[in-house]
Amino acid sequence: MIPSGFPAKDDMARLTAGMLLDIQAVHFNAAEPFTFASGLKAPVYIDCRKLISFPRIRSVLMDFLTVTVMREAGLEAFDNIAGGETAGIPFGALVAERMALPMTYVRKKPKGYGRNARIEGVMSEGQRVLLVEDLATDGGSKLSFVDAIRETGATCGNTAVIFYYGIFPGTLETLHGHGVKLHHLCTWWDVLAEARTREAFDVETLREVESFLRAPRAWQAARGD
């Protein structure tokens, strides 16, 4: 059951950023940058998977995510909740429980044996599906999941994440062009603001992080990454 009273979106963003800092899911390191899956380097890294080990914070953030989707998409907008393999599966299950809806999950690729399925669970033609994942960077990985959902005859016009990078131009336009709206709780800008308020990192590190967030490609190019 979803409580009727929840903070405004800006307050949820600030609280979410604070909780991610509380569980040390946020990592800033300008001296030894992290390597993204693309091979590019950055002074920032976030690990939303850690949330599954913190039940109280996990519960609050799943409440936040559910009410955000309901506010922005509607109370009766979905028939099925799909988690994206692998990080989105637990969060998809938790949102589905709150919304009292069936839960499925989407594989990154067919499993290669048996039914060779990408969709696990029951997804029916005509169902309106919400795709749930832990985070969104440039939105590219969401399109494959959405296409797999649509191949069943279901529709998917919304995806919900805890964390959205919010720094790569064209992300929302890419998703919109594919007929998908993104719902999220917070971005790197919210985390940076909360980290400054708490003095969670030294001033020079925060300055370097802001430089990256304002122009990630330029920051990487300046370091030969």
b/e code 77-109 from CB counts within 10 Å (16+ = b): ebbbbbbbeebbbbbbbbbbebbebbbbbbbee
Name the residue among 205, 157, 206, 200 with its Cα closest to residue 182.
157
Residues 6+ apart with CB under 8 A from 1: none
Which residues touch 95 (CB under 8 Å, ≥6 apart)? 62, 65, 66, 69, 81, 130, 132, 160
- Asked if residues 12 and 6 have their Cβ atoms less than 8 Å apart, the reply is yes
Whether the per-residue pLDDT at 222 is higher than 90: the answer is no
Assigned token pair, 172: 């929302």
pLDDT(4) > 80: no
pLDDT value at 120 more than 90: yes
Report the largest interatomic distance among the alpha carbons of the chain, rounded to a whole angstrom.
Answer: 54
Give the integer Cα–Cα distance in Å for 67 and 88: 17
Give the tens place of pLDDT for each residue, 202-219: 999 999 999 999 999 899
Check pLDDT > 90 for residue 139.
no
Q: Quick one: pLDDT band at residue 131, thresholds 50, 70, 90? A: very high
Q: Is 7 left (phi over 0), alpha (psi -120 to 50) or beta?
A: beta
Asked whether the beta carbons of 24 and 53 are under 8 A apart, the reply is no
How is residue 225 annotated by DSSP? -
Domains (ranges, CATH) in the chain?
9-222 (3.40.50.2020)
Q: What is the mean pLDDT of residues 113-122?
A: 84
User: Residue 141: what pLDDT?
Assistant: 86
Q: Using one digit for the tens of pLDDT, what is the confidence trace for 141-183?
A: 899 999 999 999 999 999 999 999 999 999 999 999 999 999 9
Q: What is the pLDDT of residue 1?
A: 57
135 close to 160: Cβ distance less than 8 angstroms: no
Report the percent of the chain where pLDDT is more than 70: 97
Burial class (CB in 10 A: 0-12, 13-18, 19+), 135: middle
- For residue 198, give both structure tokens: 């708490």
